[in-house]
């Protein structure tokens, strides 16, 4: 303990001279990747889809579902009250949307998707949707 305390005062007075660098100076470290810089793959980074495109794709996906009458499908349609789907059918629709857009919807979010508008909002705001 005494040895550690004796080293502290010396550290307090230690100074290092730093000269200013010229404006056109390029660090030799630029050749090596920065290990602290977070790099994301294109899959993780993703791009947000256009909401109108997402709406069209969601509606076509829901229309192609067997138990849905295509004439009842509108952007504001609710899965249960407007389209007559039960909870298991709604889960199957969400699974079809996962397949259509190429990403997995977490269970806690899938439970909240009960209409086409909610599905469109969620998918359009998800960075991994393709």
Out of 86, 89, 111, 121, the active site residue is 86
- Is position 19 annotated as part of the catalytic site? no
Query: What residues does 78 pair with on adjacent strands?
Result: 115
Residue positions annotated with a catalytic role: 86
């Amino acid at each position: 303990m005494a040895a550690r305390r004796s080293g502290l005062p010396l550290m307090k007075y230690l100074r290092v001279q730093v000269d200013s660098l010229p404006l056109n100076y390029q660090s030799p470290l630029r050749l090596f990747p920065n290990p602290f810089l977070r790099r994301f793959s294109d899959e993780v980074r993703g791009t947000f889809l256009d909401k109108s495109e997402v709406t069209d794709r969601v509606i076509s996906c829901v229309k192609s579902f067997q138990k849905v009458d295509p004439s009842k499908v509108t952007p504001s349609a609710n899965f249960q009250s407007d389209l007559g789907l039960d909870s298991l059918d709604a889960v199957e629709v969400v699974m079809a949307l996962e397949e259509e857009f190429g990403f997995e919807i977490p269970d806690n979010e899938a439970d909240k998707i009960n209409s086409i508008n909610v599905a469109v909002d969620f998918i359009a705001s998800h960075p991994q949707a393709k």
